Amino acid sequence: MGKTAKEKKFSVTYYKAEYERNIKRLNSPQGNYIKGKWHSTVKPVFGALTQFMGLRKINTIGIKQANKVMHLAAMAYNLKKYLKFTQKLAKTKAKAIGLIFFKINGLQNVIIFNLRQPTFM
């Protein structure tokens, strides 16, 4: 059986003042600006992760593990974008991958060099 028409719905809650304050803040000029930034920067990333990269569910236990999954997904997304960018510079995928590994290796050498140098105080 379905819902009956005699059911009542609460329209006033204990947190009504906070809801109204939040709605007012979201409809302000600064709120509209922040919403615009959110829609242009964050939402497309989550959309791409869920629709095209298979991140519909996070099958881990605990917030720390879920955080790791999100970081890995973000790194994969960024590498995919970076590969697309380098393909414009290099005509083949092999050149683009080689360029990425060359840059990663260079970063690794810089990090190792900085760790080996003694610091004087």
Mean pLDDT by 10 residues, the chain (121 residues): 65 86 92 89 83 82 89 86 71 67 64 51 43
Domain count along the chain: 2
Which structural domain range is residue 92 located in? 62-121
Give me the pLDDT at residue 74, please.
Answer: 85
Instruction: Write down the pTM of the prediction.
Output: 0.49
Q: Is residue 8 part of a domain?
A: no
Place of tokens 């922040």: 34
Largest CA distance in the chain: 78
Handedness of CA 106, 108, 113, 118 (dihedral sign): positive
Query: Is residue 85 domain-shared with residue 100, that is, in the same domain?
Result: yes
Give me the pLDDT at residue 120, please.
Answer: 47
Give me the pLDDT at residue 18, please.
Answer: 93
Give me the pLDDT at residue 109, please.
Answer: 59
Q: Is residue 2 part of a domain?
A: no
